[in-house]
Structure 1
Amino acid sequence: MVEFVKDGATGMEKVLLREPGGATAQIHLYGGHVTSWKNEKGEEMLFLSSKAIFRPPKAIRGGIPVCFPQFGGFGALEQHGFARNRMWTVDPNPPPPPPFAGTGPNKPYIDLVLKPADDELKIWPHNFELYQRVMLGFHGELTSIIRVRNTDNKPFTFTFALHTYLSVSDISEVRIEGLETLDFLDNLRDKERLTEQGDAITFDSEVDRIYMGTPTKIAVIDHEKKRTFVLKKEGLPDAVVWNPWEKKAKAMADFGDDEYKHMLCLEAAAVEKPITLKPGEEWKARQEISAVPSSYFSGQLDPCKVLNG
């Protein structure tokens, strides 16, 4: 089911997707921004700050912001680009609907598009079309399919990220597997290039890293909730890992002082090697997030099987 509604609290237009098994997703047209993803039990999988500001020009704090045409850069552009705080529209000419396996109704999905207005052209003088299909799978998995098309008469270069905020029980009890032994740029050390030494990433202080040449599958194991998030990605070779920890959380007006304990950003990205499109060319990427019941301590799930499966 696909339903178009207005948010009662903010008046903003949003889209609700409901999968027959009970999973749901909510996408605000402001930012083309996924702000909720719930499993069949109604449990929220994404973090959204209680202090999030649903008002331009501020980007919504939480969910899955779309970072384009840059991630982490500075200059005339906003740090993470302008796509996350502009109004998207429903694509009037979407691609054919996705195929589905087995019986039952089609997967619920919505196609959105962002094209530059005069304000964007003043700060980034390139004509483009940015498309996003958000889709719920038969098992409640959340998929974002991204396309960027160069509609200009000259090449342009960009970086990109899906700034996914996952909801976790306690950041101190979470580990990420799949990034061990990889090189990363440490944003807390002026982008110094280092190599991951641990057998997994765990958290006891602020983390802000860009891992490069990452695998297509990464697992986030939440011991307390006995849940593992599996992030699968295509066309997005990098992965950003971020948690602001206590000091930085208190410095953000749109972030609760203690909310850092219950969130983790794991972001599929293309940052190290910017993408260049010639006129008429198109770039595609895909991210799928699923959540499976697991308990690392009990041995019910071997994280390596999740990554290799």
Structure 2
Amino acid sequence: MGHSAAVWDFRAATEITKDWNGIDQVVLRTPQGASARVSLHGAQVTSWRNEHGEELLFTSSKTILKAPKAIRGGIPICFPQFGNCGSLELHGFARNRMWIVDENPPPLPANDSSGKSFVDLLLKSSEEDVKCWPFSFECRLRVSLTTKGDLTLISRIRNINGKPFSFSFAYHTYLLVSDISEIRIEGLETLDYLDNLSQKERFTEQGDAITFESEVDRVYLSSPNIIAVLDHERKRTYLIRKEGLPDVGKLFTI
């Protein structure tokens, strides 16, 4: 698909509105009724609904819904770090910055645009960012919704001035599920993980699936590219597919 066709696809299938704080958000829709909302505050997906209008992402009722405070829920973008280390704020600053719609994104494979409702967002390093993290970068994010309602996020980080830097990155996804005791995660069997409740001590997963009886805060290492989250009470299964991100981040019960 050529660039002009991709732009037409974007205009036909998206809408820019205001969120509860008056901040611009992009609404993606499919003909079947699925939708996703992406705030320019943090490039954060704050809602993802299937064709029946059922919400699939969790947002805490206790969150402070006011910029620049990060929203606790949806899919926060963690960059240039995941976790809390060094002088940077928790999970980096990208989730607390205002992004812009990228009107001239670099080309992506044609099949990433075909039949999808999507938006490209852009964050460039600011003087404020350079003070706490002295590197120049461009961070791009494409959020797309297929005609079947599948949600995809693709990120690309560009080094602007050539000064080498290292970073960590995560999609800190909050899935909306029923009673946590009804949840089962498959695909992490036999993997090593770092347990953040035990000073990041390394263990090996022994169960045939992950279930929850108490708080869990782990990072599973070198995980497979497909993981299933089964919600028995709602008879719903989330399939999480990934490329380029080797680990599966923290799993919480609160």
Query: What is the TM-score when the length of structure 2 is the normalising length?
Result: 0.92
**Correspondence 1:63 to 2:79:** no
Structure-1 separation of matches of 2:21 and 2:102: 23
1:128 to 120, 137, 154: 137
Partner of 2:228, secondary structure, is: strand
Alpha-carbon offset, residue 21 of structure 1: 1.4
Q: For 1:17-58, what per-residue CA distance to the aligned partner results, in whole angstroms no more than 9, with x for missing partners?
A: 001111100000000000000000000000011222222331
Q: Which residue of 2 aligns with 1:12?
A: 23
Q: Which residue of 2 aligns with 1:39?
A: 50
8 Å CA contact 1:217–1:232 kept in 2: the answer is: yes
- Change in 2 beyond 3 A, CA 1:97/1:152: closer
**Correspondence 1:72 to 2:90:** no
Q: Which residue of 1 aligns with 2:7?
A: none
Structure-2 separation of matches of 1:151 and 1:35: 29
Alignment of 1:1-309 (within 5 A): 1-7=13-19, 9-96=20-107, 99-100=110-111, 106-245=115-254
Partner amino acid, structure 2, of 1:136? L
Partner of 2:166, secondary structure, is: strand
Structure-2 separation of matches of 1:25 and 1:207: 28
8 Å CA contact 1:27–1:34 kept in 2: the answer is: yes
Alpha-carbon offset, residue 175 of structure 1: 0.6
Alpha-carbon offset, residue 2 of structure 1: 0.5
Structure-2 separation of matches of 1:136 and 1:153: 34
Q: For 1:117-173, what per-residue CA distance to the aligned partner results, in whole angstroms no more than 9, with x for missing partners?
A: 111100000000000000001210000011001112310000110000000011110
Q: Tell me how many residue pairs correspond in the alignment.
A: 241
8 Å CA contact 2:212–2:253 kept in 1: the answer is: no
Structure-1 separation of matches of 2:89 and 2:203: 27
Higher relative contact order, structure no. (Cα contacts within 8 Å, ≥ 6 residues apart):
1
Partner of 1:122, secondary structure, is: helix
Partner amino acid, structure 2, of 1:34? V
Higher strand residue share: 1
8 Å CA contact 1:186–1:210 kept in 2: the answer is: yes
8 Å CA contact 2:33–2:51 kept in 1: the answer is: yes
Partner of 2:128, secondary structure, is: helix
Structure-2 separation of matches of 1:82 and 1:224: 36
Structure-2 separation of matches of 1:11 and 1:214: 39
- Give 4+ residue runs of structure 1 displaced > 4 Å after superposition: none
Unmatched tracts of structure 2, length 5 or more:
1-12
Q: What RMSD, in angstroms, separates the aligned Cα atoms of the two structures?
A: 1.4
Partner of 1:166, secondary structure, is: coil
Q: For 1:219-244, what per-residue CA distance to the aligned partner results, in whole angstroms no more than 9, with x for missing partners?
A: 00000000100000000010013214
8 Å CA contact 1:35–1:63 kept in 2: the answer is: yes
Q: For 1:267-300, what per-residue CA distance to the aligned partner results, in whole angstroms no more than 9, with x for missing partners?
A: xxxxxxxxxxxxxxxxxxxxxxxxxxxxxxxxxx
Structure-2 separation of matches of 1:178 and 1:82: 31
Partner of 1:228, secondary structure, is: strand
Unmatched tracts of structure 1, length 5 or more:
246-309
Alpha-carbon offset, residue 68 of structure 1: 0.3
Query: What is the TM-score when the length of structure 1 is the normalising length?
Result: 0.76
Structure-2 separation of matches of 1:236 and 1:125: 24
